[in-house]
Structure 1
């Protein structure tokens, strides 16, 4: 975002923001994604004025998705080469160079997704949004629907956002 926002053709400003990393989705499956809150404006390169974006538009999502994917993979490769990554469970084979390189190659073909919401109404809405993502447990008690006698199997509800009905697992 900072790279695109700094471009004079886009915003021409230095921006800041807050990001929260999630590694799971509603059904508790592996689904890494980031939630960001960014002001729709920034400081001019010389730091003397505030540059606001156009109403209802901040940064184009397609260039942002392409740039994010490219930079993410570049830094992931650097971390692998520096031996700064650890792989566990089903991902353990990725510790081997050939397996890692194959996964990177596959990820280079993926269309990375960026979703941008409309601007918040004000500070209260920003805090409510961040609170939902930073101050809750992975699964709330209200979603549990069954527990077996040995307490080894749990059923809970989850929302499949491709459908409208709640699912049960």
Structure 2
């Protein structure tokens, strides 16, 4: 009721529902602000979202969704979380060079066991073909999502121009080749 302070349990800041509502509000408010500032671009079948009214209408169902924020502290610290996520945002699920064999027994491939150190880190695994495909498809991004390495400052289509412009703005010389 706003008349008194009610302390939370130790090591507990906010209920998940409160965090969900807060994050949803902040995310959507800032997303609309980016739209209003002309910082978002829409192409193809989404081009109609360039109009503010269409964009706000498109976000309407999202405003009604129950957002869940998982805010548990990571076991190994934020660096480990960043390392884990970067393996998924900057690489394909499995590169051809890691595939060793494909036969009746299944698919054999190399992988890194990040719980081990040294030469023991590289491991070999064979999975039944159906299981390999199932696991591979877990790493396929949904329609409309793209790997980070294909976009932004280092996008292949404009890499030289983007880097030259960034160096110019930062007043940094290009590295010697």
Please give the TM-score of this superposition, normalised by the length of structure 2.
0.44
Higher RCO (CA-CA < 8 Å; seq separation 6+) = 1
Higher helix share: 2
Task: Return the index of the structure with the highest Cα Rg.
Answer: 2
